[in-house]
A and B are shown apart, each in its own frame.
Chain A
Amino acid sequence: DSGVTQTPKHLITATGQRVTLRCSPRSGDLSVYWYQQSLDQGLQFLIQYYNGEERAKGNILERFSAQQFPDLHSELNLSSLELGDSALYFCASTPGTPGTYEQYFGPGTRLTVT
């Protein structure tokens, strides 16, 4: 158990809909990362937050947005969903202090868009 929690575990929804994925980092970790993993196993970095502020952006679509709240949990919002958005979405956290770069991953949310 990494200490990172993600909800829901599975999500099935229709095209055009909007969903929210939630992540709680490990206790004390200030930095949260979101990744998308497609069926061919590739891991795509979406976005990073540090102590409530956006720190880095990757290949995140304009239809996707995220935020990190004062209690450090984070939410990833996916809107106008398309079939191609079906994937595993992982959250990871790190302490955020210099020299501590290893990431701790949650179990993921499997999103199926029908």
Chain B
Amino acid sequence: GDSVTQMEGPVTLSEEAFLTINCTYTATGYPSLFWYVQYPGEGLQLLLKATKADDKGSNKGFEATYRKETTSFHLEKGSVQVSDSAVYFCALSGTGGFKTIFGAGTRLFVKA
């Protein structure tokens, strides 16, 4: 079945460091790919998405490119801030029905 694998956390970075959170997927067909973010004490919210191969999703300085050849959707940000501390979830959907498959989540801590 479809699945999403993302790097284990926690990831701890200093402010202004470069961030990469790896995400790979297994899916039949051509899924849409998502990154969701969960700030402390809140629900998940959509950070960015890409709906087809080679699409780049971007938002709030974060980027991820849909790579069909490597079945990956890695999240990157050039310079993280303390306010980016959160849990990040990679997800896929659209391969059958409306179910979304979430990765296990990666917790990011950014130190001042």
User: Which residues in chain A, 9-66, are within 8 Å of chain B measured between CB atoms?
Assistant: 31, 33, 41-43, 45, 48, 50, 55-56, 58
Q: Which residues of B contact A101 (CB under 8 A)?
A: 32, 34, 93-94, 98, 100
From A42, A94, A104, A108, give the contact of B104 (CB < 8 A): A42
A80 within 8 A of B: no
B43 touches A2 (CB 8 A): yes
From A42, A90, A94, A106, give the contact of B98 (CB < 8 A): A94
A50 touches B98 (CB 8 A): yes
Most chain B CB within 10 A, of A31, A92, A102, is at: A102
A103 within 8 A of B: yes
Q: Which residues of B contact A56 (CB under 8 A)?
A: 97-99
B46 touches A102 (CB 8 A): yes
B98 touches A105 (CB 8 A): no
B42 within 8 A of A: yes
User: Which residues in chain B, 33-57, are within 8 Å of chain A measured between CB atoms?
Assistant: 34, 36, 42-46, 49, 51
Q: Which residues of A contact B34 (CB under 8 A)?
A: 101-102
- Tell me, rounded to whole Å, the shortest Cβ–Cβ distance linking A61 to chain B: 18
Q: Which residues of A contact B102 (CB under 8 A)?
A: 43, 45
Q: Which residues of A contact B100 (CB under 8 A)?
A: 33, 45, 101, 103
Docked Cα-Cα span, A55 to B45, in Å, equals 23
- Tell me, rounded to whole Å, the shortest Cβ–Cβ distance linking B20 to chain A: 19
Q: Which residues of B contact A31 (CB under 8 A)?
A: 98
- Tell me, rounded to whole Å, the shortest Cβ–Cβ distance linking B103 to chain A: 9
